[in-house]
Structure 1
Amino acid sequence: MESRMPSTPSRRTVLRGLTVTGATVVGFDTAARSWAASAAEPGADLARVPRLDGTLVTDDASLTAAADDYGHIVHRRPSAVLRPGSVRDVVTMVRFCNDQRLPVAPRGQGHAPFGQAQVRGGLVVETAALADIGAVDTAGRTVTVGAGAKWSAVARATLAHGLTPPVFTDYLELSVGGTLSVGGLGGQAHRVGAQVDNVTELRVVTGAGELVRCSPTRRADLFHAVLAGLGQCAVIVEATLRLVPAPQTVRRYQLAYGDLETFLDDQRVLVQEGRFDYVEGQVHADAAGTFGVHVMEAVAYGPPVGPAPDDAALLRGLRHDPASAQIVDQPYYDFLDRLAPVIAAMKEAGIWTFAHPWLNLMLPGRSAAALGAQVLSGLTPAEAGPGAVILFYPLLRDRLTAPLLRTSDDDVSYLFDVLSAAPADDTAAVERLLDFNRSAYEATAAAGGTHYPVGSIRLTAADWRAHFGPAWAALASAKCTYDPRGILVPGQGVFG
């Protein structure tokens, strides 16, 4: 454990520098269960807020923003928002909230779709300020970054040294702490594992307010409980990431298929043989208004990490439509950031403000085609909404080593994403999609699959125990050890 931060100041501590709409926040009224300003009633039983480097805010605009997220479905209003000026602030305020039994949730880019980073009546910690990117260790091939750093910034910083994190989510404007809390999957994961499998060390603040450095050999129980642990045991404030040599260019192949089963079978072949560095696929609407167009996206890295791609060797034996194949070369970072123009167009069209009741499942390989077809048969492109995206990522079980990142027991699983959208004020459409998600989840669970916990599915405590399976006991033990009062991230609903 790191040296313990100075203990929480007594109630006589004078707060300096924390203002809310012109009034000074002096403490937490333990009777009224609310934050108190300098004009608080005389005699109020105040727990004085310690001095901070950043700001603690309770203005309406900040609380309203923290009560929303990318999903625009769940709205839980906190009582305060911390904008930390340092890691010390996170330690101080988590310890304070633990003393007062106030729930706490870290919030990175607010990209959760179902209230996962919200907390009713508690404290939201905005980690975006913790975005420092340390010097790249070119000899050890690592970089240490703040939890609020975006993956786009990490990529640019490491590419300046010819290095790169080995796996990325498709959308780069997510925070490091956010994706490490859920897993961090991308098309490279079949070769190199998820983002959580490429972390060498963490600094975290436990629910008891202790700043701890952990790794596979140092406080390993905490390390493994934090990675893909949904924030249940500690708040990530810093991560050391493994790096690998980066290519300068890549070759992208987009291959069309006429049916889902052949499309998934070829994905399986590619990841088992390791032909490509990146493999995923999309399903689009056809002229008949069904999800009938299947497009494989496979990417081969070029020099200096590999030879120039050989089209004939890479495509040998695949059963795609050769007449529709599209093959392009592009710079590596342009490939990583390929969604930037798509996201810009979505924002311009107003789709970014829609509700996003996303479905993210882990399908067993043996039944992926049947399950995928069953799920998609219950949804039309029109019902999925504007800008909806259907994705399949093939994953090899032996490359995913983080205990809490759950897949099926098959050697190959498929991450299956149905990224729907509906006008936020169309509650009937949103409810239909949430019901659809629950039904799809139940069918998947019955077949031996599970879900990737970044979506919008109504889950019970029993569902969570089933989800974590043999890893549940270790997670529950770590929760009792590191968050004994259960203040961290209640929005996930893992422990009820």
Structure 2
Amino acid sequence: MTGRALSRRTLLQGALVAMAFNPASRSWAATLEPGSLPLPPLEGALLMDAASLTAAAEDFGHIVHRTPCAVLVPGSVGDIVAMVRFARRQGLHIAAARGLGESHSTYGQSQVPAGIVIDMSALSTIHEIGESSAWVDAGVRWRQLLEATLPSGRSPPTLTDYIELSIGGTLSVGGIGGQAFRWGLQVDNVLELDVVTGEGELVRCSPSCERHLFDAVRSGLGQFGIIVRARVRLVEVPPRARTYTALYGDLHRFLDDQRWLIEDGRFDYVEGAVVSSAGGWAFQLEAVKYFTPGAEPRDDRLLAGLGFQPGTLQVTDSSYFDFANRLAPLVAMLQQLGIWEFPHPWMDMFVPARSAAAFVEEVLSQTTEADTGQGPILLYPFRSAALTAPFLRVPTDPHVFLFSLLRTAIPPTPENVAALVQKNRAIFERLTAIGGKLYPVDAVPLSHADWRRHLHPYWERFEYAKRRFDPARILTPGQGIF
């Protein structure tokens, strides 16, 4: 028995497996009853037990809870094709999630009330690793891919800070990290995709084949198809990483130095954060240079001209993998303390550089450390010219700053969560007024009109892609776009 079959059998032990669907009662049954329709043959299983449904009604936000009527644990891509076709015929909504209750969306984006959730973590095979690309299932996590590619000195060009996210999940949204200024986002570094459209067709697409679908599903928020496999670009990377962190007291100098560094190109990775300092806020630069032993970076050259506060510089060396996986110990601690399961009313924003200083100052003046629950606040730039996915909407500015309030609701009460979500909405209104955009994994309630504004001037193209690839509108209803 293969490892995949064994893990699937373990997963299904004790689960209630659906065998039929009753169109009249809109319910599933474990046996074929009069008036019900048999499910298509599946290599995996469609689950309808309470534990599976409850898990699928969660995401990382732990704010919105929408219970599906069934959870598909696919044994193959063919299972997804079959169930999308079945769902379309029966008028059922369906959406993909990385794993039961583990989706990194924060406001129910991948949840499907009374529909079908696909547990994509069941498809997690790395099929091929070459010199310049890897062909992988959408349920593979970036950490798993990195562990497989680093022995040959290769890595995806851009990695998210937290590398336990799935490849298919981040490609549906964007996938941003400190290398994005050079390489673009993760959606800019995918070469080919296998997609199951809303009509249940399995289509291979790329820049040279089925380009309309390729452009639609990258950062398409799951609206046009379910990414089931991806060919991800790989680049050579040195085995070591030197990390430089330093504090700034002046926001304007901090932002200027960050923009200078991404244009100068001396570092391989540039990020930054807002940190608590003496009852106020300070700004921490984080820059990394990859290197090979025996060819260590020249610290003086890399740091020349930067205006950080004297005495705040810290320099540490690590392996490339340990740097990429640097959040693992923190996440393990938060999980052990139970805080990882608290609500996370996150707010991720793309802010035009021309307005960044004033906007950040305004938001910080209205934000306390208690508002964040000691969650991090990220602040760093990338170049919009590196972006290629049409539906990844960013401001019309050569430089764009990611500004993220990665809140944890402490205490985790409904009242506190509601208050933080309300603050997010107020910040969103101000963001929209200055030409900013959301990175849409956030805990921000959005109307149909908000989505039209967010996608402008591509709303008509977005709507056309929906009609073309998902005309029955069965895919991914959680965002409320349509």
* Fold agreement, TM-score > 0.5: yes
Task: Decide whether the 8 Å contact of 2:57 with 2:66 is kept in 1.
Answer: yes
Match of 1:458 in 2: 445
Match of 1:27 in 2: 20
TM-superposed CA distance for 1:121, in Å, is: 0.2
Task: Decide whether the 8 Å contact of 1:20 with 1:58 is kept in 2.
Answer: no
Q: Does 1:156 align with 2:116?
A: no
Match of 2:45 in 1: 55
TM-superposed CA distance for 1:365, in Å, is: 0.1
> How large is the Cα RMSD of the aligned pairs?
1.7
> Structure 2 CA distance, aligned partners of 1:341 and 1:247?
23
Match of 2:70 in 1: 80
Q: What amino acid does structure 2 have at the position aligned with 1:70?
A: F
Range with bigger deviation, 99-108 or 421-430: 421-430
Match of 2:91 in 1: 101
Match of 1:8 in 2: none
TM-score by length of 2: 0.94
Match of 1:13 in 2: none
1:352 alignment partner, SS class: helix
Structure 2: where are the runs of 5+ without partners? 1-10
TM-superposed CA distance for 1:424, in Å, is: 7.3
Task: Decide whether the 8 Å contact of 2:108 with 2:478 is kept in 1.
Answer: yes
TM-superposed CA distance for 1:47, in Å, is: 2.3
> Structure 1 CA distance, aligned partners of 2:78 and 2:205?
17
> Structure 1 CA distance, aligned partners of 2:264 and 2:387?
17
Match of 1:117 in 2: 110
Q: Go from structure 1 to structure 2 and tell me whether the alpha carbon gap of 1:473 and 1:418 turns closer, same or farther (over 3 Å shift).
A: same
> Structure 1 CA distance, aligned partners of 2:86 and 2:250?
56
| Equivalent residue for 1:126, pick from 103, 107, 119 | 119
TM-superposed CA distance for 1:82, in Å, is: 0.4
Q: What amino acid does structure 1 have at the position aligned with 2:39?
A: V
Q: How does 1:128-277 map to 2 (within 5 A)?
A: 128-138=121-131, 141-277=132-268
TM-score by length of 1: 0.92
> Structure 2 CA distance, aligned partners of 1:411 and 1:452?
17
Q: Go from structure 1 to structure 2 and tell me whether the alpha carbon gap of 1:232 and 1:413 turns closer, same or farther (over 3 Å shift).
A: same
| Equivalent residue for 2:55, pick from 61, 65, 72 | 65
Q: How many residues align?
A: 469
> Structure 2 CA distance, aligned partners of 1:32 and 1:418?
43
| Equivalent residue for 1:364, pick from 352, 362, 366 | 352
> Structure 2 CA distance, aligned partners of 1:450 and 1:120?
27
Q: What amino acid does structure 2 have at the position aligned with 1:303?
A: T
> Structure 1 CA distance, aligned partners of 2:470 and 2:459?
15
1:251 alignment partner, SS class: strand
Q: What amino acid does structure 1 have at the position aligned with 2:143?
A: S
| Equivalent residue for 2:342, pick from 347, 354, 368 | 354
Match of 2:296 in 1: 308
| Equivalent residue for 2:317, pick from 329, 332, 340 | 329
Q: Could you give the per-residue CA deviations for residues 153-189 of structure 1, whole angstroms, max 9, x where no partner exists?
A: 0001111211110000000100000100000000000
Match of 2:435 in 1: 448
Runs of 4+ in 1 over 6 A off after TM superposition: none
1:372 alignment partner, SS class: helix
Task: Decide whether the 8 Å contact of 1:225 with 1:474 is kept in 2.
Answer: no
> Structure 1 CA distance, aligned partners of 2:257 and 2:481?
36
2:152 alignment partner, SS class: coil
Task: Decide whether the 8 Å contact of 1:19 with 1:56 is kept in 2.
Answer: no
Task: Decide whether the 8 Å contact of 2:261 with 2:267 is kept in 1.
Answer: yes
> Structure 1 CA distance, aligned partners of 2:178 and 2:210?
30
Q: What is the aligned-residue identity percentage? A: 49
TM-superposed CA distance for 1:91, in Å, is: 0.5
Q: Does 1:341 align with 2:332?
A: no
Q: Could you give the per-residue CA deviations for residues 346-376 of structure 1, whole angstroms, max 9, x where no partner exists?
A: 1122111110000001111011011011111
Structure 1: where are the runs of 5+ without partners? 1-17
Q: Go from structure 1 to structure 2 and tell me whether the alpha carbon gap of 1:39 and 1:241 turns closer, same or farther (over 3 Å shift).
A: closer
Task: Decide whether the 8 Å contact of 1:186 with 1:393 is kept in 2.
Answer: no
Q: Go from structure 1 to structure 2 and tell me whether the alpha carbon gap of 1:27 and 1:327 turns closer, same or farther (over 3 Å shift).
A: same
1:312 alignment partner, SS class: helix
TM-superposed CA distance for 1:425, in Å, is: 4.8
2:310 alignment partner, SS class: strand
Range with bigger deviation, 466-475 or 187-196: 466-475
2:129 alignment partner, SS class: coil
Match of 2:31 in 1: 38
2:59 alignment partner, SS class: coil
Range with bigger deviation, 348-357 or 117-126: 348-357
| Equivalent residue for 2:368, pick from 373, 380, 390 | 380
Q: Could you give the per-residue CA deviations for residues 247-267 of structure 1, whole angstroms, max 9, x where no partner exists?
A: 111111001101222211111
Q: Go from structure 1 to structure 2 and tell me whether the alpha carbon gap of 1:39 and 1:95 turns closer, same or farther (over 3 Å shift).
A: closer
1:105 alignment partner, SS class: strand
Task: Decide whether the 8 Å contact of 2:72 with 2:117 is kept in 1.
Answer: yes
Q: Go from structure 1 to structure 2 and tell me whether the alpha carbon gap of 1:375 and 1:49 turns closer, same or farther (over 3 Å shift).
A: same
> Structure 2 CA distance, aligned partners of 1:126 and 1:137?
27
Q: Could you give the per-residue CA deviations for residues 431-469 of structure 1, whole angstroms, max 9, x where no partner exists?
A: 111111111111111001111111111111111111111
Task: Decide whether the 8 Å contact of 1:131 with 1:147 is kept in 2.
Answer: yes
1:392 alignment partner, SS class: strand
Task: Decide whether the 8 Å contact of 2:159 with 2:177 is kept in 1.
Answer: yes
> Structure 2 CA distance, aligned partners of 1:393 and 1:87?
38
2:314 alignment partner, SS class: strand
> Structure 2 CA distance, aligned partners of 1:39 and 1:50?
12
Q: Could you give the per-residue CA deviations for residues 263-294 of structure 1, whole angstroms, max 9, x where no partner exists?
A: 11111111121121111111111222x3x121
Q: Go from structure 1 to structure 2 and tell me whether the alpha carbon gap of 1:39 and 1:273 turns closer, same or farther (over 3 Å shift).
A: same
> Structure 2 CA distance, aligned partners of 1:380 and 1:257?
19
1:324 alignment partner, SS class: coil
> Structure 1 CA distance, aligned partners of 2:175 and 2:411?
27
Match of 1:295 in 2: 284
Q: What amino acid does structure 1 have at the position aligned with 2:348?
A: N
2:127 alignment partner, SS class: coil
